[in-house]
Structures are given as C-alpha cells and as structure tokens.
Amino acid sequence: MANEDQIESILESARLIVCAGPGGVGKTTTSAALGLKGALHGRKVIVLTIDPAKRLANSLGLDELTNDPQQIDLSERIPDQDTDGELWAMMLDQQQTLDDLVARYAPDSGALARSKDNNIYKLLSSTLAGMQEYMALDKLHDLYTGGYYDLVVLDTPPTKNALDFLNTPSRARQFFDDRIMKWFIPSKNQKKGLFSKVFDAGGSVVNTLLGRIFGDSFVQDLVDFFETLSFLQEALRSRGDMIDFILRDPQTHFVVITSADQRRIKEALFFHDKLGQLDQEAAAFILNRVIPGFEADDLTSFDVEDLGDLGDVDVDKFESALSEHYEHLARLAKHNKDLVEKFGKEVGPERLRAIPLFGEDVHDITQLRRLGEYLG
Amino acid sequence: MLDSIKDKRLVFVTGKGGVGKSTCAAALGAALARRGKKTLVVETDAFSAMSELLGKSGKDGTRIKIADNLYAINLQSDECLVRSLTRFLPSERVVRSVTGNRVTEAFFKSAPSVNEFVLLDGILEFVEDNKQLYDHVIVDLPASGHAVTFLNVPDTLNQMMRGVGPFAKRAKVIAGWIHDSSRAAIVAVCLPEEMPVQETIELEDKLEEALGRGLELTMVNMVHPRPFPARFGTAFKEASESAGVNVDPTKEFSEESTATRRVLAGNVLAMSWYKRDRTYLDLLHSKLDAEIVELPMVYETEENDIVDRLANFINSDGQTTETLAS
C-alpha cells in the first residue's frame, strides 16, 4: 500500500491519523503540520493535541487551546491559498473530559453528586496511571463519531513507551474489570457488592488485613467509589470496544514520528511491529530534526577567497574556524544519514520522510507549511 | 559542579520523555561515583535504559555493580508490594495470604497510587540501608505523567487514607524526605528548547506549591556549542549575507549548491542553533535559582560512551572541550 505519495493519499482519504512515537521528537508540531496539509486538501480537520507549546497555540491564532474545538482562520493566515478546508484544534483537559463522561453517564443527579464528592474520585484523574491516554481516546471517540470532521489528527500523549498507548482501551476496561468489579458492584437483587458485604460482616480476615494495612476509611472510600461509579463500567466497556474498532478501521492510519537517534528509532520500529495487534502498520515514518547533509568533502574545495573582501579579518584563521565546526557537523550528518538509510532499508524508503533540523523553532503557519513540504 | 546535590542522599531526576533524563541520571551517578561517593542509580521502568547507558546489565529487581562505587537496580512494583507488605504484616505466611487472595488482589490492582507508593517505599529502603550506606541514591523517575504527581503520591495516599494505618504512617515518613530539601534533591533535566524550558520553570512553581520546596539542580542536555569565535562574527555575517545563504540555509543541502556555500550555510545553521539555545538558557537562568549545568552536545554512537563523556565533563567542571567525537 505504500507508494510515492503515501502521506498525500492518507491526507485525502483517512478519517483518523494517529501520530505516535517516543516523547520529545516534535509530535505535536508534526501533527499540526499534517492537519494544516489536510485542510489545504480541502478537508475539515481537527487536531487533538495533548500539550502544545504556547507559542504554537498562539501562532495558530489561539490564545489558549481549550477542551472545546477552536477554528483557525486560514483565509486570514494563508490568503494565497484558497481552500474549502477547515482547520480546528483543541487541547485535552483530562479532568474536564472525565467530569463530562461522568456527567453524561450518571443515572441521576444523586449519583453524579456522590461521584464528585468521593474522596478517591477527587484525586483520581491525577493518580491513575494511563488516565490521560484513556481520556484522549475518549475525546477521540466523540470527535470521530460526531460527524462534523472529515479527518481527526490525534497527537498521542507522551508515554514512556508508545506501546502503552495501544493498550489503553483494554487497560481502561481492566480498571473496571469484571473480576475486580464483582467485588464492588451489587448484583441485581442486592443493594451492595461483595466487598461491602465482606466489610459489613466485620471481623473477616480480609477486612481485618486490608483495614490494618490501608486504614478502614480508605477501604470504605474505595468501596464507595466503585459502587458509586459502577455506572461507568458499562460506558467504558462499550466506548472501549468502539475505540478499538476505530483504531482497527482501514481508514485509520498510523504515522510514527521519531528522531535520528538509535534508541528512538528502535522504539519506533517496536511500535510499528506491535501495530500488528490491531491489524495495522505504520503508514509512514517521519524522522524529525535530521542534521542536513553536511559533507566532510566540502572542506577540500571550501575556499574563503570565493567570499570576496572580508575586511581586516585573518583569512586563514577564519577559514579554519569555519571548517573546524563544519567537520564536526559533517560527522554528525554522516551518522544521521547512515541511520536514515538503515532505517529506510528496514521500513522501505518510500515510507520514510526525513525532516531537516531547521534553524528556527517551528511556531507559525508559514513554518508549519514549510515543514509540510517535506512531508508530502 | 553539582555543589547543589553533593550532600543530598536522595536525588530525584525528572524530565519529560526524549530530553535525555536517563542519560543524565546515569551521568550524575557516574560522576559522583568517580568522586568516591557510593552511589546507587534506581530505575522504576518496565524497560531498563541503564544497561545500555552504563554498559552492564542484570536481572530486573537485583542490584548490579557497574564500577567502583557505582551500582544500579531496576525496581519492579510487584516485588516492592510484597516487600512493603512484609514489613507491615506479622509473617510471610500472612503476606502470602494477602497477595494470593483474589479479594485483596482486586483491591491492590484497583487502589490508585499504591504502585507508585510501594516503589517509593522500596527506594527509601535503600536510603535507610545502614549496611550499604549509600552516599547517594539517584532515582530516575518515570517519564510518563508529571513528576509532581509522583512525588506527591505519599501525601495523596496519606490524604486518601486519612492518616490511618501503617501505609499512611510510612507515607508520612516518605513525604518527610521528599519535602526536606536538606536531605533530598530534585533535579530537572531539559533541553534548551521552548517546551522543556517552560516546563522546567513551571515545575519549579508547582513543586513550591505542592511540596513547599523547589529544584536543586537543572541539567540542560545537548547544548549546541558556539561554532566559531565571536571575533569572526562580523566577517561571517557579511560573507553569508553576500552569498545569500543566510535566509534559508537548509535549502543549500537539498538543492544544487557549492562546497563553499554549504560550509557557510552549515555555520549559519550552527550559529542559529547556538543562539536559539542561548535564548532559552538565558530565560532559564533568569527564572531559576537552582544550579544550572549545561551539558554539551556529545557525538558518540555508543550510549555508555556518551555517559562517560558527560561524567568527565561534569567532573572537570566543564573544562573538557572535547565534546564532539574525536
């Protein structure tokens, strides 16, 4: 399925592009560049980002990205480009997303109030590992099924291991796992779950031990937490199944973003490999911040005499100063080039895009477009 | 260098993924060990980076000796849970009855923060180890999530448990260590780029707010060197402007160009990388009171060579100039 214009064709037809990869490789910027490109292809695109640089948000004309989609005015920013496409952006607010979820699925106002009052719930969104990933996918679910956008570009949260992300739906479901839940959730004809009964019975071994380790109030809070939020179990399960389905959809494409660094390339390949779990593969690999093609050979024909009058500078010293650093850079560039070639052999060079390390940060639409030129 | 952490027994190293946090934790460990300080580097990740960084590997959960005075271990939370429970419960049989019980297993799995707590408990055990007497226990904190959340786990847990029970009591002790900047140091690792620098500045505020303490040390990784001495600045500016390579230097490497133009363009790029780094470093210096160590770009292919170079750089007080490959 890979061809010359792999990224272009994805941008024309995909409903979801998941940008994955190790942290710190410019995923957010690349996601924005892909989104902009998609909009210039005439599509209605939303970029769901987790933690964008303030200057990136500002340069998109958004003072602050919020949990609600905001449209970026392209006609004003790119007057030379006439497009029917739209570019939207939003930033995930995980607490808000969780609150929304609870508010939507709470069976009555009492359950909602009890959820929000629970000591554990209050601390949950910041303490539960994987909550951010889960909430990102949950938001994705809404954007994807909402019907307005042609294309969602998902900038994945920085996980220590991009792989964690793929397991998010199952991990979230596991949190409300049946085997765990049955201890908490009351069965049909009963008011309380097994845990409550164990505790109400008093004096049991489990009760005594857990209470002894954690303190009785914590145990009771946790039991209340699960009983109160049991309504979320079904919601999370069905949404988790739907998210799984979305990730497996043929119109969902994964773009793996990494940098010219051995360990991060290894991580990217590992991720690509694991995409098999979803019957998916990386549609494209983007190598960010590659040192441009400095060549040590350039130094043999480098001649400051070509530069004309340099004033009263010591020409020989000037030449050797410029050469010395260039030689170091050439060595770095060679190292990068070798990595790119090796990586290209493994994944197919047509699937690989190398973006050079620019002199400036990519902060505005013009620079995003420039970055986009290297993507197509 | 490292004056800010030299008398701290517990050193937390934090940073977002991709900034070289583990590399810097390893370099810190190597540098301190070479000063004759008995040092243990602790990881809590499923995937250990230390074997590549320090050049020696061992089984997860067991301590390995890397070099004189330098040790490393990758702690696993399930093992830590058993160890923590062992200390809180009367006998091993009772511990097994707890860990092997489906009800309590369900409880441990579902109780938030318990994983992180038992890891911190395991870490503090090393600090308290009176046989080993480590001068420094360096913790390579997990990259995911926020450092403040992780370091706040003992407080959070204590709050959730309302101060009752042995976990809560132990949590108080651990929190005491984390809050106390005379015993424990917090080190931030970042790159000289917008996001990481902003996050480090915000981290300082958040630490103050949540823990009532700040950072001791910030390590800025992969700082680009000045490509050529400042005295050539004017001549270089004129030369690159008249050659026209200053506007889009990257272009010289994707299109037809000449050797001289490329050398100029390469230096233009290097100069802008250097200047960009300085902008963010200046911002960091103006906002932070903590010690700031600038680690130069090191070009080596083997990770343990990078760590070795960085440790030498730190211990020579930044006098080593051979930062790129030789």
**DSSP-assigned letters across all residues of B64-82:** EEEETTEEEEE--HHHHHH
Q: Are A271 and A256 in contact (CB under 8 A)?
A: yes
- DSSP assignment letter at A361: -
pLDDT at A200: 59
Residue B268 near residue B227, CB atoms below 8 Å:
no
- Give residue for tokens 């601390």: A123
Contact map slice: A 58-117 vs B, CB within 8 A: none
At residue B103, what is the residue type?
V
Would you say residue B274 lies in a domain?
no
Residue B282 covered by a domain:
no
Is 50 exceeded by the pLDDT of residue B279? yes
Burial class (CB in 10 A: 0-12, 13-18, 19+), A66: middle
Q: How far apart are CA B266 and CA A374, in angstroms?
A: 19
B110 CA: distance to closest CA in chain A (Å): 6
Q: Is the dihedral of CA A73, A75, A76, A78 positive or negative?
A: positive
Please tell me which of the candidates A198, A205, A294 has its beta carbon nearest to residue B266.
A294
Helix, strand, coil distribution of chain A in percent, nearest 5: 60, 10, 30
- Pick from B195, B269, B274, B279: nearest CA to B19: B195
pLDDT on residue A149: 97
Of A25, A177, A213, the CB nearest to B167: A213
Give CA–CA dist A47/A67, Å, rounded.
12
Category of B259 on φ-ψ map: left (φ > 0), alpha (ψ -120 to 50) or beta: alpha
Q: Please list every residue in chain A whose beta carbon sits closer than 8 Å to the beta carbon of residue B267.
A: 322, 325-326
Distance CA B18, CA B15 (A): 8
Any idea what DSSP says for residue A123? H
pLDDT at position A66 is 79
Residue range of the domain that includes B29: 3-228+290-315
Give me the residue spans of the domains in chain A: 1-105+132-166+250-295+337-376
Question: What average pLDDT does range A39-50 have in this prediction?
Answer: 92
pLDDT in tens, B91-135: 878 788 777 777 677 677 667 778 889 999 999 999 999 999 999
What are the pLDDT digits (tens) for B144-200?
Answer: 557 888 899 899 888 888 888 888 999 999 999 999 999 999 999 999 988 889 889
CA atoms A305, A309, A314, A319: torsion sign: negative
* pLDDT value for B58: 77
Residue A177 is predicted with a pLDDT of: 59
ipTM above 0.85, yes or no: no
Lowest mean pLDDT across A139-143, A211-215, A348-352, B202-206: A211-215
d(CA A176, CA A184): 10
- At position A244, the amino acid (one-letter code) is D
Give me the residues of B, 235-274, that contact A with CB < 8 A.
235-236, 238-239, 242-243, 249-250, 252-254, 258-260, 262-264, 266-270, 272-273
Q: Is A326 on the interface with B (CB under 8 A)?
A: yes
Residue B292, H or E segment:
strand B291-296
The partner residue sitting opposite A158, judged by closest CB among B16, B165, B273, is: B16
**Burial of A89 per CB tally in 10 Å (0-12, 13-18, 19+):** buried
Which range has the worst mean pLDDT, A89-98, B3-12, B62-71?
A89-98
- pLDDT band at residue B314 using 50, 70 and 90 as cut-offs: very high
Instruction: List the structure tokens of A86.
Output: 């739209």
Residues A1-105+132-166+250-295+337-376, CATH architecture: 3-Layer(aba) Sandwich (3.40)
Rounded to whole angstroms, the Cα distance separating A131 from A126 reads 8
d(CA B277, CA A134): 35
Query: Is B135 within the bounds of a domain?
Result: yes
Q: Mean pLDDT of all residues in chain B?
A: 88
- Band (pLDDT 50/70/90 cuts) for residue A206 is low
Percentage of chain A exceeding pLDDT 90:
29
Question: Can you tell me the distance from the alpha carbon of A62 to that of A70, in angstroms, rounded to the nearest whole number?
Answer: 8
B residues 53-82 near A, CB within 8 Å? none
For residue A329, the one-letter residue type is L
Q: Residue B131 maps to which CATH number? A: 3.40.50.300
Taking only the tens place, the pLDDT of each residue in B228-273 is 999 999 999 999 999 999 988 988 988 889 999 999 999 999 999 9
Our measurement of the distance from residue A78's CA atom to the centroid of its chain's CA atoms, rounded to an integer in Å, reads 26
Mean pLDDT across chain A, nearest whole number? Answer: 82
Report CA Rg, chain B: 23
Those residues whose C-beta lies under 8 Å from the C-beta of residue A297, and which sit 6 or more positions away, are: B259
Confidence bin at A179 (pLDDT 50/70/90): low
Q: Which helix (H) or strand (E) holds A286?
A: strand A282-290
Q: What is the mean pLDDT of residues A102-125?
A: 81
Average pLDDT over residues B54-71: 88
Residue A315 tokens read as 């020409």
Domain count within chain B: 1
Tell me the pLDDT band of A194, cut-offs 50, 70 and 90.
low
For residue A2, name the pLDDT band (cuts at 50, 70, 90).
very low
The percentage of residues in chain B with a pLDDT greater than 70, rounded to a whole number, is: 93
| pLDDT for A215 | 80
Instruction: Write out residues 201-220 of B within 8 Å (CB-CB) of A.
Output: none
Q: What is the pLDDT of residues A225-234, one digit of tens each?
A: 777 777 777 7
**B250, A359 in Cβ contact below 8 A?**
yes
Q: Is the pLDDT of residue A169 over 60?
A: yes
Residue B180 lies in a domain: yes
Q: Any idea which residue has 């100063």 for tokens? A: A321
Distance CA B23, CA B284 (A): 21
pLDDT band at B326 (very low <50, low <70, confident <90, very high): very low
- Is the pLDDT at A197 greater than 70? The verdict is no
B37 with B69: CB under 8 angstroms? yes
Tell the residue number behind the tokens 């702690």, with chain if given. B75
Dump pLDDT digits (tens) for B155-167. Answer: 988 888 888 888 8
Q: In this structure, is residue B212 part of a structural domain?
A: yes
Q: Report, in angstroms and rounded to the nearest whole number, the Rg of chain A calculated over CA atoms.
A: 26
Q: Is the pLDDT of residue A176 over 70?
A: no
For B102-141, give one letter per residue: b (16+ CB within 10 A) or e. ebbebbbebbbbbbbbbbbbbbbebbeeeeeebbbbbbbb
Q: What is the mean pLDDT of residues A130-149?
A: 84
* pLDDT one-digit tens code per residue, A237-249: 788 788 888 989 9
Residue type present at position B324: L
Say if strands A282-290 and A86-91 run parallel, antiparallel, or are unpaired: unpaired
